[in-house]
Amino acid sequence: MPYKDLREFLGVLEDKGELVRLKEEVSVDLEMAAVLRKLTYSKGPAVIFERIKENTLPAVGNVFGTWERVLLATEGVDPEERAKALTELLAFRPPEGILDAVKSLGELRKVASYFPKRTSRTSMDVEWKEIDLFKLPAIRQWPLEPGRFLTFGATFVRRGESINYGYYRLQVIAKDKFLVHWMPWRRSEAYAFGRDKVEVAVVFGMDPVTTLVGGVPVPPPLEKLFVSGVLRGEGVEVVEGRTVDLRYPANAELVIEGELTGETAPEGPYGDHAGVYSIVKNYPVVRVKAIYSRENPLIPVTTTGKPVLEDGYFILFGQKVVKPLLRTILPEIVDFYMPPEGLSYVFVVSIRKRLPGHARKVMSAIWGLTPLIGKILIVVDHDVDVRDWGQVLYAVSAHVDPQRDVVVLEDFPAEELDPSPSTPGLGSKLGIDATRKLPEEYGGKEYPKDLVAPDEIERKADEVLSRLLSQVKRKKP
């Protein structure tokens, strides 16, 4: 059974020694973020901050600060295995006979169980009589930041019947107002664009899988709540907002319901995941309509800085979820990897190459699907382990002629958090074709063959090596 909520998951972490409680007083001004960074860098446990200097609600952090805890969230199942069910749904075909129809009914019932389940019951049944965002553990994590930010609330927004959610830092500017950092090319920003009335719900402390899915670039028309249902094995319970026309998870710690005022205000600078301060820019103002919580809520907090921090494990989780979908669209893909140190800007993909220009075709497709990801995209052959940088660097060194195999696309959408472009949000892409070349790509000649010894010679060498190593007696240091 999947975890119903954050509390249940934290209970498991505590039982396994993966959660500690800090009774020493800590400030939300710089101190909490510094503790969290050091915990994540050292692969330490999750932590509950019980006493906060500013008298805010208690906070919990570093919940997903190791891959082992991410796997605990999925009950030990590789997210990629569960995500394969998404491709099976996309491959569904209408039944052709009575037996097929009976089978399809069972499949449809299974699919229906993944959709969000509406309920009138919610754990967040305490209405705040006084709206005061400063009672939440909004943090200032770096010295040049102008104020406090809520860093781990999932912001839900609706367009028609479609609901999206994701993580956008929220700068608190008054007791009842905050700025929402909706960057261009994000689905939530597109949902809000050009509308007179935009309502949001910011939810803190959802169940762990739904929390993780919030950081995944799920391609339309799929919705994240449905994807979470597939990964959990059952649909997420959702409740209607009480002051907003919006549904969101019913089992969480706290929700802020609000509406965009139509105004904007300067946001930032903010110490972001690239390890530098992001730009100051105007972003939408949200006025809070209501806050609801459970009794004694516990508010998740995360921090950003040079990798690898907690967001790096979201990158690892996300690529496992997206991989089966990407392989459905591009079946020539064998594997791909976004190293968390690469901030999702470095993307290595292996393919089964069949045709001239195949690597460039894959580059173009990936950049078209995800314009903000893969600033540097390296394509290698199917037999290269994309997670082994020794193999990747060998492929680049041995198979790349820069004048032929390097692609640069100018004036391409870029993530505003990327500090490298001179114009924020407008940068370039670098593609490196590190595959072996076909004759059409190699001046009509056959590409040099790899060095491969006969199988019987390799087997004999292995036997000899085993005997040699058994004779080695190394002295203990």
Coil, helix or strand at residue 68: helix
Q: How far apart are CA 466 and CA 468, in angstroms?
A: 5
Alpha-carbon span 68 to 97, nearest angstrom? 46
In the numeric block, the tokens 């119903």 are attached to 4
C-beta separation of 227 from 277 below 8 A: no
Contact by Cβ (8 Å): 62, 88: no
Asked if residue 295 lies in contact with residue 303, where contact means CB atoms within 8 angstroms, the answer is no
SS3 assignment for 239-268: EECCCCCCEEECCCCEEEEEEEEEEEEEEC
Beta sheet of 333-337, edge-to-edge order: 333-337, 346-351, 376-381, 426-433, 406-413
The CB-side HSE value for 451 (13 A sphere, CA atoms) comes to 1
Residue with tokens 């339309």: 220
Beta bridge partners of 294: none
| 237 strand-pairing partners | 117
User: Can you list the positions of beta strands (E) in 355-437?
Assistant: 376-381, 406-413, 426-433
Cα–Cα distance between 460 and 466 in angstroms, integer? 10
Q: What gap in Å lies between CA 211 and CA 3, rounded to an integer?
A: 11
Q: How far apart are CA 357 and CA 375, in angstroms?
A: 19
Given 272, 311, 418, 433, the catalytic residue = 272
Structure tokens at 364: 């173009």
- Find out whether 337 and 319 touch, Cβ atoms under 8 Å: yes
Q: Which residues pair with 19 in a beta bridge?
A: 46
Place of tokens 């754990």: 123
Q: Which helix (H) or strand (E) holds 162?
A: strand 162-167
Give catalytic status of residue 272 as yes or no: yes
Name the one residue in this structure whose structure tokens are 């510094």.
Answer: 34
Catalytic residues: 272
